[in-house]
Amino acid sequence: MLEDWLIEVRAAPTLEALEALRVRLLGKKGELTRKLKALKDLPPEARREEGKKLNEAKHVLEAAIKERAEELKKAAIAERLRAEAEDVTLPGLGFPAGNLHVLTQVMGELVGIFERMGYRAVLGPEVEEEFYNFDALNIPPHHPARDMHDTFWLKPAPGFEARFKRPMLLRTHTSPIQVRYMASHTPPFKIVAPGKVYRHEATDATHEAMFHQLEGLVVGDAITMADLKGALLSMARALYGPTARVNFRPSYFPFVEPGVEFEVWWENPKTGEGRWLELGGAGMVHPAVFRAVDDLREEKGLPRLYEGKTGFAFGLGVERIAMLRYQIPDIRYFFQNRLRFLEQFREEV
């Protein structure tokens, strides 16, 4: 009898089954309990003997149930640990990798092309003084060229008037960097200056109120238009391949003389069709700009350096180059920050 019960106890599959078994054997109406209750009907001799046997059996059974309960509890914990374990050897999920904005990539490529030709890349402020953006570039007040650049003028916040010693604006082109660089450096030098520029213009497929330009400036002795054309041709070939050509059309910018607009012959690699694309303005640095720079240097107590120097400068729109390269039909796509657009320009890593 006891042996059978012990077998059952040790085989109880769960804590619930074990509890049911305990009730069945040791509960108020349990099998063993009933036997113990029945002792009173036995003659005294047999009662003592049977009572001893049954009480021992009860203790053995209780100990066995306790032992089995411990076993089952341990097994349950082990099972939970197994089920909830993290597999630290699994490879991670990984983060989606970001990528540089397509315009940042194109700007980097342009700057790299010029750096390989020995140019130094420099930056200038986006919040600029009227003097550098216009006056020093031979665009005096009321000059009609100011109308070509619809300007965002800045007003000082109350209490900051003292910081605005001269009228301030958001630069309308990267050309003010020419003046800033010349005022603090000794020629000869070759620089390019990439950056954001701002114009208070109505937006359409090819015009934005904020866009990017790349400025170039080379100053030295006996620099000519041929050097300018050579520099732009090298850029065009690096960008669009050996069939690229550069064309100059006479144009007017107050800070160059002669001034040109330059266009690049671009052949669509898919169709083989070619066309001229206007990329920007360029020319030979106007003597009035050299004079303004020397006046500024004199004000700062620096020697005049630019009389008799020659130089060329150019400025181009970066969006236009990117639009052409990737057949992007609308400049506004660059700045809408839609991932579906931006993710197309993931760099290979």
Which residues make up the interface to ligand YSA (CB under 6 A)? 173, 175, 199, 201, 207-208, 211, 213, 253, 255-256, 278, 280-283, 313-317, 319-320, 331
* 58 vs 286, beta carbon nearer ligand YSA: 286
* 64 vs 331, beta carbon nearer ligand YSA: 331
How far apart CA 239 and CA 235 sit, in angstroms, is: 6
The pair of structure tokens assigned to 3 is 């042996």
* 61 vs 228, beta carbon nearer ligand YSA: 228
Which residue in this structure is represented by tokens 């306790």?
A: 66
Closest C-alpha among 154, 166, 156 to residue 198: 154
CB of 319 to ligand YSA, least distance (A): 5
* 196 vs 297, beta carbon nearer ligand YSA: 196
C-alpha distances in Å from residue 227, one per residue of 55, 172, 217, 312:
115, 26, 11, 8
Q: Are 26 and 9 in contact (CB under 8 A)?
A: no
Q: Report helix, strand or coil for 44.
A: helix
CB of 167 to ligand YSA, least distance (A): 19
* 213 vs 310, beta carbon nearer ligand YSA: 213
Q: What is the DSSP string of 219-281?
A: EESS--HHHHHHHHHHHHHHHH-TT-EEEEEEE--TTEEEEEEEEEEEE-TTT--EEEEEEEE
How far apart CA 321 and CA 82 sit, in angstroms, is: 59
Which residues does 124 contact at the CB level (< 8 Å), separation at least 6?
A: 171, 174, 176, 177, 180, 181, 193, 195
CB of 156 to ligand YSA, least distance (A): 26
How far apart CA 65 and CA 243 sit, in angstroms, is: 93
CB of 255 to ligand YSA, least distance (A): 6
Taking the alpha carbons of 128, 130, 133, 137 in that order, is the dihedral positive or negative? negative
CB of 128 to ligand YSA, least distance (A): 13
CB of 210 to ligand YSA, least distance (A): 8
* 57 vs 128, beta carbon nearer ligand YSA: 128
- DSSP letter at 187 equals S
CB of 251 to ligand YSA, least distance (A): 8
* 5 vs 290, beta carbon nearer ligand YSA: 290
CB of 197 to ligand YSA, least distance (A): 7
Closest C-alpha among 109, 104, 112, 114 to residue 233: 114
* 9 vs 319, beta carbon nearer ligand YSA: 319
Q: Nearest residue by C-beta to ligand YSA?
A: 317
Residue 238: phi and psi, rounded to 5, are -65, -35
